[in-house]
Amino acid sequence: MPTQAPPRPETLTIPAAMLPSDGRFGSGPSKFRPQAAQALAERAVDYMGTSHRRTGVRNVVAELRAGIAELLGAPEGYEVVMGNGGATAFWDAASFGLIERRSHHLSLGEFSSKFVDVTTTAPHLAEPSVHVGDFGTCPPLEAVEGVDAYCYPHNETSTGVMLPVQRPAGDDDSLVLVDATSAAGGLRFDAAGCDAYYFAPQKALSSDGGLWIALMSPAAVERIERLSASGRWTPAFLNLKLAVDNSRKDQTYNTPALATIFLTVEQVNWLNGNGGLEWAASRSDRSADILYGWAEASDIAAPFVSDTAIRSRVVGTIDFDDRVDADTISAVLRANGIVDTEGYRKIGRNQLRIGMFPAVEPEDIEALTACLDYICEQLIA
Ligand SMILES: *Cc1c(COP(=O)(O)O)cnc(C)c1O
């Protein structure tokens, strides 16, 4: 007997009562709160379209720097530095201004490996030391002889693995540079455990792209000043000394995206006003408990990351068994207004990836799991 062709995604309608209130579950750019967009619209005439070197914008930048320091629990002496170009530009900038000679990397997915590409090809740096981990796992952080900077992500966005923010035992002199693009404002950590906690704000912080923000320790700033004075040629756009100097004046070296700054302030104020990082992380915890609890109870899905200690609370990766095709599930969801649940292509698994940042309502994750059950039933029937 011929098996029935599965329903075409565009013909499968999820009952309206099942749908989440907001269908954005991307891992970046991620959902930003409609209230933030509304607030931006209200400031369109006195903030947008005004000079980034005048008080109007600089006051907002000052608010951003103070708000980030509060949210991330900046220890005494740490400062918030920012510049243009996103986390990707920060890698290039760090290769000039923070890494003296040789870096050590934990490489466990797309984003952590991209930083390795930067330091591997930089002609002024020695070949980096790299500890590669399989997708879905994370290699241990160990002291390495002869390196001056340790680099790893707080959360590897491509695989849904989170790492503890810490210094390697036995090396107190090197800097620790942590990529927090999909973690900052959503995962708990102790800022004293690293020297640069850097991120672009369009993922965990639910703003828009184009900016990098870094919480830097006095040791990091000291390194920046020393390398700047050393005569190493550095493109001005990637010069962290210029970034530090400008940030202290609440401005950026060149024109920033004012809307991105505004939306970031909105999100940071919303998080701080509700209880700060602990409150924000608790929201993501609720979402993660719902998503992984559902997957563990399901007979068709399972969390991809088996070690619960490193299973991300902000980006959930869920494997499906071969009775259903995850790409088809994503296509059905998309046709019903639920977007960006596709897995990271290069992992090559039958997988969905779900953003569970603080801006996402845990109830919407709950609704999403009901939609997933519904779709799987229809596809298998
Ligand atoms: C998205 C992402 C980046 C790159 O951010 P851009 O703003 O696009 O440069 C870097 N690191 C991590 C962990 C990311 O998730």
The DSSP letter of residue 168 is P
Q: Strand pairing partners for 103?
A: 149
Ligand 1 pocket test target in 27, 30, 107, 111 with most atoms within 8 Å of CB: 111
Amino acid at 218: P
User: Residues near 205 by Cβ (< 8 Å), separated by ≥ 6?
Assistant: 184, 185, 199, 264, 267, 268, 357
CA of 276 to the centre of ligand 1 (A): 23
Pairing state of beta strands 315-320 and 301-303?
antiparallel
Structure tokens belonging to residue 143 = 């002291």
| pLDDT at position 31 | 95
pLDDT digits (tens, 9 = 90+) for 22-66: 999 999 999 999 999 999 999 988 999 899 889 989 999 999 999
Smallest CA-to-CA distance from 281 within 189, 153, 178 is with 189
| pLDDT at position 44 | 87
CB of residue 113 inside a 6 A radius of ligand 1: no
* Residue closest by Cα to atom 14 of ligand 1: 181
CA of 184 to the centre of ligand 1 (A): 12
- pLDDT < 70 regions, the chain: 1-7, 10
Spatial contact of 20 and 356, defined as CB atoms under 8 Å apart: no
CB of residue 204 inside a 6 A radius of ligand 1: no
* Residue closest by Cα to atom 5 of ligand 1: 87
Smallest CA-to-CA distance from 61 within 183, 193, 201 is with 201
* Residue closest by Cα to atom 10 of ligand 1: 87
* Cα separation values, 289 from 164, 181, 210, 303, Å: 19, 22, 32, 11
On whether the pTM is more than 0.95, the answer is yes
| pLDDT at position 1 | 43
Amino acid at 175: L
Q: For the CA atoms of the chain, what is the radius of gyration?
A: 21
pLDDT digits (tens, 9 = 90+) for 333-364: 999 999 999 999 899 999 999 999 999 999 99
| pLDDT at position 335 | 96
Ligand 1 pocket test target in 27, 88, 106, 356 with most atoms within 8 Å of CB: 88
| pLDDT at position 11 | 82
| pLDDT at position 10 | 66
| pLDDT at position 381 | 81
CA of 87 to the centre of ligand 1 (A): 5
CA of 191 to the centre of ligand 1 (A): 20
Smallest CA-to-CA distance from 339 within 111, 33, 31 is with 31
